[in-house]
Structure 1
Amino acid sequence: MSVWFSEKDIVLGTPFMREIDKGLAKTRIGLALITPAFLKRIEGGGVSEKELSELLARDQLIPVAHGVTYDEIRAVSPLLGSRNGFSTEDDSLEVVAKKIAELVAV
Structure 2
Amino acid sequence: MASFSASEFNRRLRQAQQDLNRQLRAAQQQAEREMKRQLAAANREIMAENRKVEAHNRKVINDHNRAVDQHNRRADAHNKRVLDEINRRLVAASQPQVQVRYTPAEQELVDRVHAALPVGNREHDLFCSYARIDGEAVTDELHSGLTSLGLDVWRDKAEMKPGKSMARQLDNGLRLARAGIVVLTPAYLAGRFWTERELGALLHKDTVIPVLHNVTFADVKEYSSFLGDMVGFDTAEDSIEEIAAKIASALIDPAA
Q: TM-score, normalised by structure 2?
A: 0.39
CA-based RMSD of the aligned residues comes to 1.2
- C-alpha distance in 2 between matches for 1:15 and 1:93: 32
Displacement, 1:27? 1.4
- Among 37, 52, 59, the residue aligned to 2:199: 52
Q: Secondary structure at the match of 1:29?
A: strand
1:67-106 matched pairs, under 5 angstroms: 67-106=214-253
Shift of 1:65: 0.3
Higher relative contact order (CA 8 A, sep 6+): 1
**Corresponding residue for 1:64?**
211
1:34 and 2:184 aligned:
yes
Structure 1 position 5 matched with structure 2 position 155? yes
User: How far is the alpha carbon of 1:7 from its aligned partner?
Assistant: 2.4
Q: Which amino acid aligns with 1:84?
A: V
| Superposition deviation, residue 89 in structure 1 | 1.4
- The structural deviation recorded for 1:104 is 1.4
Structure 1, 63-72 or 7-16: larger mean CA deviation = 7-16
The 1-side partners of 2:246 and 2:209 are apart by 12
Structure 2: 5+ residue runs without aligned partners?
1-150
Tell me by how many angstroms 1:58 deviates. Answer: 2.0
Off by >4 Å, runs of 4+ in structure 1: none
Separation in 1, partners of 2:229, 2:156: 25
CA distance in 1, matches of 2:207, 2:170: 15
CA shift digits 1:5-55 (9 cap, x unpaired):
122201122100000001111111110111111111x2x4x0111111111
